[in-house]
Amino acid sequence: MPLSRFQPEHYNTLLADKVAKTEALLAPFSPPAAAVFPSPRDAFRLRAEFRVWHQGDQLDYVMFHPDAPRDPVPVNHFPIAGPRIQALMAPLRERLTVSPLLRRKLFQVEFLTTTSGDALVTLVYHRPLEDDWQQAAEQLVADLGIALVGRSRKQKRVIGRDHVTESLEVEGRTWYWKQVEQGFTQPNGAVNREMLHWACRSAQGLGGDLLELYCGNGNFTLPLSRHFDTVIATELAKTSVRAAQHNLAQNAVSNVQLIRLAAEEVTQAIRGERAFRRLADLPQALGDYDLRTVFVDPPRAGLDPATEAMVQGFDNILYVSCNPQTLAGNLQRLTESHRIAAFALFDQFPYTDHMECGVLLQRR
């Protein structure tokens, strides 16, 4: 997001415009009135990355405007970043500037933080990282109270740990998530909390068992597990699967079966088109579960046609979408068999055209 679009004094107007456009896009599918969840106007983003620009003895965080991709724009203040990132930016830059070992061929700086203030910094280089770099990095970690990862081609050095731990209160319980460097996490913690509350409210009373596709690190899996007898959660990315396994154990969740499968493979298994050895770890056959509800939080491309057809076999479809356009495409088919019973809009990315959506579809 170009900083020129940061206009907190106009936030309500900008949000209303996005809401109107999204409601108009989805109006043909007759949703109920949308519940709208705004974002904090500033200090909302828990992740940030900057290119590093070297000019003489000066080192700057920079971004590039889409209309001038070769012209670096120094970033001295980043008001949409969370408080921990804002507090770290200046002291980190000062220490990098005065340390030849840390600044030499430094290419990029990445921040990953949480609502509770945990922080991980990743430094990306165009050179191998030797033991002298590690010694300097360890001092940096001690000075700033952070975890640190150094990356270069085919190399990763971890100082302390390569993750942060997020904690959020949902329905009266505090949940903990391990969020791994370079793994997917929700960037807006305040809005993510609202998304989790909405998903849980929508799941109340649905009963039976839940199938979850694209579960990631278990962001939705953990709180949703309280509303179903069993959750079969699926994810393809190994990093996310390992994080989800850790999070299930850390939160003492025992009714979730986590299976490493792509959505397309789950569809094949549900249809009986293909057997997967990974499903042999389930306590019972997939077809023996009382799978009344499916939860999907797909990538921007939305559901592929086969998965779209598969989820129509469920009584309830909980769908969180990061792309209203592809959601609209999926709804053209899904609303042939289901009606939209609940509808929500989440302003995950203020001052952009992006709007996150949630729909609960129930069989007609």
| Residue of 166, 181, 215, 322 marked catalytic | 322
Count CB neighbours of 70 within 10 A. 6
Q: Give 70's pLDDT tier (boundaries 50, 70, 90).
A: confident
Residue 175 has pLDDT above 70, yes or no: yes
Place of tokens 């969840």: 37
Overall average pLDDT of the 254-281 stretch: 91
3-class SS at 351?
A: coil
CA distances from 278 to 246, 281, 282 (A): 19, 6, 8
> What's the average model confidence in pLDDT over 64-71?
82
Mean pLDDT of the 82-105 span: 97
pLDDT at position 355: 96
Q: Is the pLDDT of residue 272 over 90?
A: no
- Across the chain, which distance is largest between two alpha carbons, in Å? 67
Categorize the per-residue pLDDT at 274 as very low, low, confident or very high, splitting at 50, 70 and 90.
confident
363 versus 6: which is more confidently predicted? 363
For the 47-164 domain, the top CATH level (class) is mainly beta
Of the candidates 16, 28, 20, the one whose C-alpha atom is nearest the C-alpha of residue 333 is 28
Predicted pLDDT of residue 5? 80
- For residue range 145-169, what is the model confidence (pLDDT) as tens digits? 999 999 999 999 999 999 999 999 9
User: Given pLDDT bands bounded at 50, 70 and 90, which one contains residue 137?
Assistant: very high
Mean pLDDT of the chain: 95
Superfamily for domain range 3-41+183-363: Vaccinia Virus protein VP39 (3.40.50.150)
Q: What radius of gyration do the chain's Cα atoms show?
A: 22
* Ranges for all domains in the chain classified under CATH 2.40.50.1070: 47-164
Listed in order, the ranges of the chain carrying CATH 3.40.50.150 are 3-41+183-363
Residue 74, pLDDT above cutoff 80 = yes
Angle formed by the axes of helices 11-26 and 324-334, nearest 10°: 30
Active site residue 215: no
Band of residue 66 on the pLDDT scale cut at 50, 70, 90: confident
Cα–Cα distance for residue pair 256/247, rounded to 1 Å: 11
The DSSP secondary structure of 16-47, one letter per residue, reads HHHHHHHHHHHGGG---PPEEEPPPSSS-BSE
The structure's pTM equals 0.94
**Least confident interval from 131-145, 278-292, 295-309:** 278-292
pLDDT at 11 over 70: yes
Asked about 166 being catalytic, the answer comes back as no
pLDDT grade for 2, boundaries at 50, 70 and 90: low
C-alpha angle 119-171-339 in degrees, rounded to nearest 5: 110
Query: In this model, does residue 182 exceed pLDDT 60?
Result: yes
Identify the active-site residue in 215, 308, 356, 357. 356
Whether the predicted pLDDT of 1 surpasses 60:
no
pLDDT above 90 for 57: no
